[in-house]
Structure 1
Amino acid sequence: MNALQKKIGLHLLGWTLYIGYSFLGYFLYHWRFEVLLLTMSQHVLHVIEFYLCYFLVFPLWMKYRQWWVLGLGIVGVMFTYIAMRYTIEEVMFKALFGFSNYTTITLSYYFFDNLYWAMPGIFLGAVVWALEATLQKERENRSLKQEKVQAELAFLKTQINPHFLYNSLNYLYSLAYPVSDKLADAIIRLSDLMRYMLHESKDGKVELQKEVDYLHNYLEIYRLRFEDNFFVNFNIQGLVNGQRVPSLVLIPFVENALKHGVVDDASAPVTINLLLENNSLYFDVSNRINKNQKDQTTGIGLPNIRRRLELIYPGKYSLDVQGDGQQFKTMLKLQEV
């Protein structure tokens, strides 16, 4: 049984107990057809109220975090209840069965009296929704803790090899420097890449400038393969000044563009744009798709990237991927960098 089936089953059980208890009183004390119909209409209206609050009012309030959204939603549910109850009990029942719930009353009395009767469905919806939201939050927190532990274990397993490579690269640089400046420069750039990958911080973030430097080093190493036939435009707009981002959050998109795109055509260069504006970061990468590339996968593990962004920027990022078979483009936005 999956989570949705379990939730539906619990809701059905809850309504069975709630409505069954009410009808128990009817069978024990009333035995009147009018009371049965009025009890049934009341329960139907409470169920409608419940799910209006459960699926609409409270989720919207949680999304926008504005009290006026909650107040307006509850008032709307109350007016819906009053209008539907009047239609059912004062119009339909009177036309079909010859009776109504209220006799001679004023409109104001009917309105304020039903404000009271509208409360149980709203209150019940609030309690159930809050309880489920709390349980869901606890499950997510447990899941995050487990993912963090697994990530830390995976990171520890990779420590020995990268450190060994980093130290080896420094040694190779000392050997290559007297022989070839170009080779030595490539080695030192690769060494810088390795050092950046080993960087640690308590919150997993680094200064944006270091991420930008990493991208520049990565592009320069890639350029060695193509020399003068390497066409990549890296544009930065805005001031890179103290912003912090998760380490290696931008490189997967660039890596994907270079691996699966065309980089040796001056008429269709790979374009990388970084824009900083109003405490937000905009990063887009576009490339023409290389039809001769044997590996046609995206190569960047989009589900993993989205999951990482969701953990670090919940509700504060957007990632859009576009492709038409000719061009491929990724657009990332991070808020509050």
Structure 2
Amino acid sequence: MKKGWKIFWHTLFWVSIISFFVFIAHSERISMRALLIIFLGFGIINIALFYLNYLLLIPWYLDKKKYRQYAGVLVLTIIVFGLVKYGLASVFWTEMHPTVKGQKMPHEALKFGWYFTQTCFTSILFLFLSTVLQFSLDWFTNERVQRDLENQRLTAELAFLKSQINPHFLFNSLNSIYSLAYQKSETTPEAILKLSEIMRYMLYECNDNKVDLAKELTYLQNYIDLQKIRFGKKAYVDFEVNGQVTNQRIVPLLLIAFIENAFKHGVANDPKHPIKLIINLDDGHLSFYMENRKHVHNRDSSGGIGLSNVKRRLDLLYPNAYKLEIHDDADIYTCELSLIL
């Protein structure tokens, strides 16, 4: 909390306390002179006691876990302040209690034991309030620090996860283009051009936490087109988008891992069993369905990083706002993602 705000809240607190006691005193018809004595004398003493504990005793002893020393100093402080209050009351007792049923209150009514006990309870109250305030501020400060550290950790982790996507995608795409070049395919330049469009989107359009869904869908379509070039126009993909694409936004590069795996581990050149990619949009809700036949000879022994990456990003960016189901059967691989945009 900034210093100016601290001063403001402390001032507001004391104004409220003093106003409350002034109201109580006014209802009992205490004279203005008595009010000045009470609030300028005893009020300053109590406020000094409050800040003595808040600014000095707690940092010197309690924060350093010197509990015995702190308890001893507190007891000594209560006694000293109790004696000071008793001395002040002795001097101004008649001014503070001018009449009782039309008679002057005798000075002997100020009994040391009774009054000293009362002042000790008052001192303990102000010491308790200052301790509660300090512990509350420390708790809120620690909570804020922990949240900031957690946010920094999550931000760093997301940046790392996102940094993995580009090299992973580029590695797979270059392998595909290398295969075309090795075969001296006439579609190699087209594939390189398509890859450059994809990379331009990944490098310049994906810097925000979320992007327009329309741009992300165009990116997915470009990737599918690139894979069709790789397969020599013999890749069979049913890519459907149902629902109205308006101003929805989505975390970038979220669905590509599933589509990459479909081409990498599935059968893409079977017209009877095309890769199915279906996206349904309905009132801020997106559902994604993918299905492909598994190619038993087209497996990556390293396992890849795509799915583990996207699952972690979903956990961080869509907590309690997504449902992911993956069914890995003997011949068919399906994936269903339900997402609240």
Structure 1 length normalisation: TM-score?
A: 0.49
Larger radius of gyration: 2
Q: TM-score, normalised by structure 2?
A: 0.48
